[in-house]
Amino acid sequence: MQKATVTRTGIFDMQVCVPKDWTDERIEGFAGTSGTSGGWRMRQDGDPALSGDPARQPCDEHPGFVHVMLDAACSTVGS
């Protein structure tokens, strides 16, 4: 079975490929194991940085998986 993976990493953002039934908390927890120590926050629908894309993009390669962008928690203000 396909496992959750990190598909792209940067200093201030990253993208992961995870099962679509994962909660936001679980996705952020997964991201936290593979990036900076500051933690990661899921980009939510309506975030200008998504440029109109949904927060959870269906994965082209793995049915039942979604791609999610996260921002380093230290680079965002508030919740």
Residue closer to Zn ion by CB (options 55, 73) is: 55
Cα–Cα dist 27/35, whole Å: 13
Closer Cβ to Zn ion, 50 or 59, answer by number: 59
Tell me the closest approach of the beta carbon of residue 78 to Zn ion, in angstroms.
Answer: 29
For Zn ion, the binding residues (CB under 5 A) are 17, 59
17 vs 72, beta carbon nearer Zn ion: 17
For the chain, strand residue ranges (E) read 5-9, 13-19, 40-42, 56-58, 65-72
